[in-house]
Amino acid sequence: MVRAGAIDHIVRLARERTGGFRLHFVEVNEADQQAGGVRFRAVRVEHDPFLDCYGYLIECAGRVAGYSGDTRLCDGLRAIAAGSDVLVLECNQRHGESPLHMSLDGVHTLRREFPHLPLVLTHRGPDVDGDGMANVLVPSDLETLLL
């Protein structure tokens, strides 16, 4: 498995280019945790078999936002959806099944399983839209949403 330390070279480059910045890691452990004023819980998802991959439940102002991270449809993603008031969900392709990413077909499955959960599609492939599904937002790059 690749661990967070594998990004040391990226952190080193960022520090060199910015003249340094303060960076604090919180290693996730699938329990309720806090970083600064943010409460969160990591949930293991299925993305790459050689990486430890997580989605997150993030608590803010009494609400919980779910974030899928890169994943395919799996039990971890369903647990994130079940614990969320809104789910930010990657959707990389329109049809088919990928071992690494969600497809719009998988989003339809989640919509049937969680019919009232607002979904926000991110990390979208060029052919991905909301496909007419209710309560599915497809923001533009850098768009700010109030959820």
What is the per-residue pLDDT across 78-132, written as a single tens digit (0 to 9) for each?
A: 999 999 999 999 998 888 788 888 999 999 999 999 999 999 999 888 888 888 8
The per-residue pLDDT for 2 is 44
The per-residue pLDDT for 3 is 47
13-22, 34-43, 65-74, 91-100: least confidently modelled range: 13-22
Domain parsing of the chain, residue ranges: 26-137
May I ask the CATH architecture of the domain 26-137? 4-Layer Sandwich (3.60)
Q: What residue has token string 């991905």? A: 128
Average pLDDT of every residue of the chain: 87
What 3-state class would DSSP assign to 111? helix
Task: Tell me how many helices (H) and strands (E) the chain has.
Answer: 3, 7
User: What does the alpha-carbon distance between residue 106 and residue 96 come to, in Å, rounded to a whole number?
Assistant: 9
pLDDT digits (tens, 9 = 90+) for 44-56: 999 988 888 999 9
Amino acid present at 55: G
The per-residue pLDDT for 112 is 96
- Which of 101, 100, 84, 83 is CA-nearest to residue 92? 101
